[in-house]
Structure 1
Amino acid sequence: MSLLRSERAAAAFLLTAAVLALVLANSPVGPGLLELRDVHLGIPGTPVDLSIGHWVSDGLLAVFFFLAAVELKNELTVGQLNSVAKAVRPAIAAVGGVIAPALIYLAVTAGSGYERGWPIPTATDIAFALGILAVFGSGIPSRLRIFILALAILDDIIAIVIIAVFFTSDPSIPLMLLAAVGVALFGLASRFLDGRWRVPVAIAMVILALVTWWLVYASGVHATIAGVALGLAMRRVPGLRVRHALEPVTNGFILPVFAFAAALVVIPDVGIDELAAPFWGIAIALPVGKMVGIGFGAWIASRIGPREARPNITLWGLLTAGALGGIGFTVSLLMNELAFASTPEVADEGTLAVLLGSGISIVVASLMVLRLGASYRGMRRLRARIREARY
């Protein structure tokens, strides 16, 4: 079980699932897997009827967003983002990491008719970024790890807002209000989880969560927003317990299954010059835009406030944070599905671009993290020698 809680394992499972899906989709079993993904599974006696692919992206992924919201609430209340002073620097870097990739994408796709895909390269996969840090980041100081964690969490907030605002069409206000009631009741019920009625309360909360999820889905808002709302509404302490219990399920099943389903793409038999503009926009904006945007934003943020209160992070450290931010993966794949839902052929190229851009970022970030860790370890050894020489 401890393996499934590991950041390294989570990143490995994600990458393995995506590569396996890409290989299988382009093998003789590919057509069968693609047909299986489109098979509809309904719940008898209810209006719920989704394809397996949508059960994964709208259902399972809502659990991932629920756990992300629980972690976010903890950070906002007692963690690294519990004050304006703590949150402002990674927030500026996160905003820079959204603006730069979006501008690069829009510049590449200008006039193509596919400008709506600009949100795709703005996301960061927090599980993958922290996994790279865990694998290659020996010696990196805690202040940089905390900065990257806060940056990734804030990046997730922006992604959630983008999904809610830009990928919602003709929402049903009555259903949204009913969903809001469900969220409120869910949050109220979470206050009674520590009493003697915790088992029936927990059962009632599961039912409330499922009903709320369906109301959000039926309202026209992307169903993952239900997970976010429920996670933020839940009381912090029981929420952290639920997060701890479900973390192995998320790392070992939900995220790999989503990565597999999203990366189940047939590589188009076209020349490089025939690839659509979104492919190039995403493939360039993820590794380049994120590094430039986050690096520049973090540099500006590091100059804010009294000198003694500024985080002592080198320029290379800031650029490393930007390289890690270029690993879009999970949320970028989701946004790609949403942005190009009406043009499957472009969505397939977008998926390949997300994998390519994220892959470049993985390699670059791994090398930069290795060098950064070696640099900090060397500095510590030098300080130790100086102290020994003095005494």
Structure 2
Amino acid sequence: MSHPLRSPRLAAILLLVAAACGILLANSPLADAAFAAQHVSFGIPHTPFVLDVGEWIADGLLAVFFFAVAVELQFELTSGQLRSARNALLPAIAAAGGVAMPIVVYLLIAAPAGWPQGWPVPTATDIAFALGVLAVVGRGLPARVRVFLLALAILDDIIGIVFIAVLFAHDVSFGMLLLALVLIVAFGLLSRALGGRGGRLIVAAMIVLALAAWAAMLASGVHATIAGVLLGLAVSQRPGVRASHVLEPWVNGVVLPLFALSAALVAIPSAGTLSPVFWGIALALPVGKLVGIVGTAAIAQKALRVAPIDRIRFSDLIAVGSLGGIGFTVSLLLADLAFPAAPEIRDHAVLGVLCGSMTALLVSAVVVSWRARAHRRQQA
């Protein structure tokens, strides 16, 4: 019997509830206690490993989520829908459009006010949430629509990971970075020795190597979640898939809800004091993603001369584009990273992610439900 926390529907609900609890806590009489708890520091004194609770969640626990995402990336790139250039081309073009258009929308609104650095925030799509909406209201949609969404969201995540690695590294220690990479290679080589004798010892050694690689990545100045990504790409496919399967309930039930709760601890300002950063993100996610994904995918299908039987209908592209605007996890992380010296603007960015994602969630629920009903009628 499958664990209930493997359900994308329940995972999406937990993430939404946790984000709502964070907002409510931050705007309740318990706000001071919640903020104080979030900023309690602990770790190894006189080392880079003294972080507050919020940082341990974002840098530590979230690395587990990125490991699971990277295992899925590796599978899709080697054995799944993205293993051939032909299959990957259309979702890659749509993903590029779904990244470029939100950047344009954000910059048009926020750059004139002096906040251009937030442009990466509205570029991400939350795979778990998008699949959760499909699980709730998407029964009857053709399999190729779900596959297209999954491929697009995975490619979207690759772009988000590159942004985190390249744009938000600071005071990089190349010695520690090299050490992290050596440890990751050793982790990958050990994973290929599994299946023979001494399996438990190998697994224990891999866990030690993974923790050491994460610590070295944190000390290097590159965001520590990148260690999770590289470990997920380095691990041998079969043990990686098994590890991801074991971790899935913990990621869905603990890691993502805790991150959403921590990231959403934001005091809501009055509507008149919301900055252009908020409006830029809140519009770029539901509008920019929809226009970018639908427009580029529709043009690409014609340019690539996709056969009518394989073509995704324009109305189904609208369903996928509306789902693409649900940012949440990676967008919340990017919002936290984009404004390190301006906590008030960072809060506006987080609110923009939550508001934009909720708008996209509501729109996609309506559109996906409409398309699913149409396909069910057609099948009947």
**Alignment TM-score, normalising by the size of structure 1:** 0.95
Structure 1 SS opposite 2:222: coil
**SS in structure 1 at match of 2:141:** coil
Q: Say yes or no: does 1:338 pair with 2:322.
A: no
Match of 2:328 in 1: 329
Take 2:308 and 2:196, find their aligned partners in 1: how far apart are those partners? 43
Q: Work out whether residues 57 and 258 of structure 2, in 8 Å CA contact, stay in contact via their aligned partners in 1.
A: yes
CA distance in 2, matches of 1:311, 1:123: 26
Offset, 1:301: 2.5
Q: Equivalents in 1 of 2:306, 2:28: separation in Å?
A: 58
Report the secondary structure of 1:302's partner residue: helix
SS at match of 2:81: coil
Structure 1 residues 304 and 343: alpha-carbon distance in aligned structure 2, compared to 1, 3 A threshold: same
Could you tell me whether the CA contact under 8 Å between 2:110 and 2:280 is conserved in 1? Answer: yes
Q: Residue 23 of structure 2 contacts residue 264 of structure 2 at CA under 8 Å; is this kept in 1?
A: yes
Q: Between Structure 1 and Structure 2, how many residues are aligned?
A: 379
Do residues 121 (structure 1) and 148 (structure 2) align?
Answer: no
| Secondary structure in 2 matching 1:124 | coil
Deviations along 1:15-74, one digit per CA (max 9) or x if unpaired, are: 000001111111111110111100001136965211100000000000000000000100
Moved more, 200-209 or 167-176: 167-176
**8 Å CA contact retained: 1:302, 1:311:** no
Query: Residue 384 of structure 1 aligns with which residue?
Result: none
1:379 aligns to what?
A: 378
Report the RMSD for the aligned CA atoms in angstroms: 1.3
Q: What's the offset of the Cα at 1:87?
A: 0.5
* Structure 2 residue aligned with 1:288: 287
2:249 paired with 1:248: yes
Residue in 1 aligned with 2:319? Answer: 320
Unaligned runs of 5+ in 1: 382-391
What is the CA–CA distance in structure 1 between the aligned matches of 2:309 and 2:150, rounded to whole Å? Answer: 17
* 1:218-267 superposed Cα distances (whole Å, 9 cap, x missing partner): 11111110000000000001100001100000001100000000001111
Which ranges in structure 2 are unaligned for 5 or more consecutive residues? none
Q: Give secondary structure in 2 for the equivalent of 1:41.
A: strand
Q: Distance in 2 between matches of 1:168 and 1:230?
A: 18
Change (3 A) 1:209 1:309: farther
Of stretches 91-100 and 211-220 in structure 1, the one that deviates more from structure 2 is: 211-220
Partner of 1:388 in structure 2?
none
State the distance in 1 between where 2:83 and 2:27 align.
Answer: 47
Are positions 1:359 and 2:358 aligned together?
yes
Please say if residues 118 and 277 of structure 2, whose CA atoms lie closer than 8 Å, have aligned partners that are also in contact. yes
- Aligned twin of 2:276: 277
Structure 1 distance, partners of 2:45, 2:278, is: 40
Amino acid of the structure 1 residue aligned with 2:298: W
Corresponding residue for residue 347 of structure 2: 348
Aligned residue in 2 for 1:169:
170
Deviation of 1:302 (Å): 1.7
CA contact (8 A) 1:287 1:357 kept: yes
Q: 2 CA distance for matches of 1:281 and 1:308? A: 37
Paired with 2:155 and 2:308, the residues of 1 have a C-alpha distance of: 21
Number of the residue aligned with 1:178: 179
The amino acid that maps onto 1:348 is D
Q: Look up the equivalent residue of 1:230 and give its one-letter code.
A: L
User: What's the counterpart of residue 226 of structure 1?
Assistant: 227
Q: Deviations over 1:170-217 (max 9, x none)?
A: 311111111110110010010112111111111111111111111111
Partners of 2:362 and 2:112 in 1: how far apart? Answer: 32
Aligned counterpart, 1:83? 84
**SS of alignment partner, residue 324 of structure 1:** helix
Q: Distance in 2 between matches of 1:305 and 1:263?
A: 42
Q: Is the 2:48–2:219 Cα contact (8 Å) retained in structure 1?
A: no
Percent identity for Structure 1 against Structure 2? 52
3-state SS, counterpart of residue 303 of structure 1: helix
- Quick one: which amino acid aligns to residue 59 of structure 1? G
Q: CA deviation at 1:311?
A: 2.7
Contact 1:304 1:310 in 2 (8 A): no
In 1: Cα distance, 2:11 partner to 2:303 partner:
35
Change (3 A) 1:366 1:40: same
Query: Secondary structure of the equivalent of 1:267?
Result: coil
1:155 aligns with 2:156: yes
Q: Is the 8 A contact 1:90 1:301 kept in 2?
A: no
**TM-score computed with the length of structure 2 as normaliser:** 0.97
Q: Which has the greater radius of gyration?
A: 1
Letter in 2 for 1:108: I
Distance 1:72 1:260 in 2: 26
SS of the equivalent of 1:80 reads coil
Relative distance call for 1:65 and 1:309 in structure 2 (3 A) is: farther
